[in-house]
Amino acid sequence: MKLFDAGWAPSPRRVRIYLAEKGISVETEVVDLRGGAHYQPPYCDLNPRRQLPSLLLDDGTLIDDSVAICRYFEALHPDPPLFGHDAREIGLVEAWIRRIESDCYAAIVYAFRNRSPAFVDQGVPGFPGTPQIAELIDRGNRMWPVFVDALDVHLAANAWLAGEHFSFADIAAMVAIDFAVATRMPTPLDRPSISRWHEAAAARPSARA
């Protein structure tokens, strides 16, 4: 089994934090995203989606998505649960993961990828030749505060996203917020509840993975 990783990018970081929380070590190969190694063989032959992370299993199966990779390991190593302790929590973790993808991560990617000179003709991850669309910067900028407001209200009443227990939803949200700050979205860390939650998540040793 081999994990294909990339140093600075948010999706691979989710997997590294998850594995650190679980105490799982996996053989890893770092693919140079900045240098475009994911567009070149051998990686693009292995993963025609040309995205990172991906996990190659011993039987040749490739799992090409960060959440799916963590789900795979969760099935093999259920304790401690990071996708929910019971049916109710499993539902809540799933709802937050999906919301982070569609309302938070997408907002950051719209705003950043369509404005950064580093992503000219790379408007969609893994698909070189896709033009940037300036209108999507505005779309991302409008989506962002809506998510931040909802997250702050939720965290005023909950220790973690799914309630009592730290979960993969907290990993995905922390990674997205760190990515947002790094790409100069308006910081949500001045909101008291988000700040309290982020400090607690970032203090876990896994956050440095």
Ligand X SMILES: N[C@@H](CCC(=O)N[C@@H](CS)C(=O)NCC(=O)O)C(=O)O
| Dist CA 159 CA 139 (whole Å) | 30
Pick 75 or 203: Cβ nearer ligand X: 75
**Is there a contact between 50 and 105 (Cβ–Cβ < 8 Å)?**
no
User: Which is nearest to 148 in space by CA: 207, 191, 101?
Assistant: 191
Report, in Å, the least distance between residue 98 CB and ligand X: 12
- Phi and psi for 115 in degrees, rounded to 5? -120, -25
Provide, rounded to whole angstroms, the least separation between the CB of residue 190 and ligand X: 25
Least Å distance, CB 208 to ligand X, is: 18
Please, which residue, 109 or 191, has the CB nearer to ligand X? 109
Task: Quote the least distance from Cβ 193 to ligand X, whole Å.
Answer: 26
In the complex, which residues of this chain contact ligand X (CB under 6 A)?
9-11, 33, 38, 51-53, 65-67, 122, 125-126
User: Would you say 118 or 134 has its CB closer to ligand X?
Assistant: 118
Q: Yes or no: say if 132 and 203 are a contact pair by the CB < 8 Å rule.
A: no
Determine the Cα–Cα distance for residues 96 and 100; give it in Å rounded to an integer: 6
Minimum CB separation of residue 168 from ligand X in Å reads 12
CA distance linking residue 168 with residue 163, whole number of Å: 12
Nearer to ligand X, 122 or 167 (CB): 122
Q: Are 44 and 55 in contact (CB under 8 A)?
A: no
Q: Token pair 């001045």 is at which residue?
A: 190
In the numeric block, which tokens belong to residue 176? 């997205």
Which residue in 113, 204, 100 sits closest to 154, CA to CA? 100
